[in-house]
Structure 1
Amino acid sequence: MIVAIPSARKAVRRRGHDPLGAMAKVAVQRLREDGLHIVGLDALRQRRRVADQAALTVDERAVNLAGALVVDPQVAMGGRSVLLVDDVITTGATLDEAARALRAAGADVLAAATVAATPLRRTVTSGER
């Protein structure tokens, strides 16, 4: 199964589309054309709003996202192997939260694929200068 991280509904309305969802659908289609038995699932839902993460630290992002995602109760995840898909990995907090929600629903999260990764910003302490 391929499961994409859901975009906030507000962001989808603002953009007029869901670019990550569209990319995941293309990936599923191409993998099927290559003979793989792959299914794309729209399994994750946002349980609550989260703050914009741009200015948050690693720890703040983890707190911000804790418990924010849930598996749609209409999607049976028990025993399914999952590849998570996200657009950009910054700290990994979003992927961690998605994996937590999927595992809680009985899925086996095998790996994650992202389009891009940002370098982790590190705070320099006075002793390192």
Structure 2
Amino acid sequence: KEWSCCPENWISFHSYCYFISTNDKKWTESEKNCSGMNAYLLVVHSKDEQDFISQKVNPKFAYYVGLSDPERKNNWQWVDQTPYNESATFWHPDEPSQPSDGCAVLLYRSSPRKWGLNDVRCQETHKSICKMMKIYL
């Protein structure tokens, strides 16, 4: 039988582990923080995963995810090289909205009441979510 686990203070969902930061950092600092833990900023692959994460984070905060538009040309890219599929990405309505905003956060909006992605300036400081494969023993 296979055993899998996540590091201490990480949460488990399917074959992945997630770490929700409590510190505010810029996007690049958040990315470095995740890679320093052998992880990467959150890449969302399914509605189930989005729903799971949304239940674990605080609606008062925004959380950096691993989606950015480095050249500010509406050419969004996931940090793990997963192909970007706009229709499978959970943007809030009318997002991304600002060409000058090159990074994505997961945030809660009260109208309509739901979690989704929003574009922000990468220099803003927010919490973040890291993701890694589970450790199999």
> Greater relative contact order (Cα 8 A, min sep 6): structure 1 or 2?
2
Structure showing greater Rg: 1
Q: TM-score range by the shorter chain?
A: under 0.3
Specify which structure has the higher proportion of helix: 1
Specify which structure has the higher proportion of strand: 2
TM-score, with normalisation over the residues of structure 1?
A: 0.26
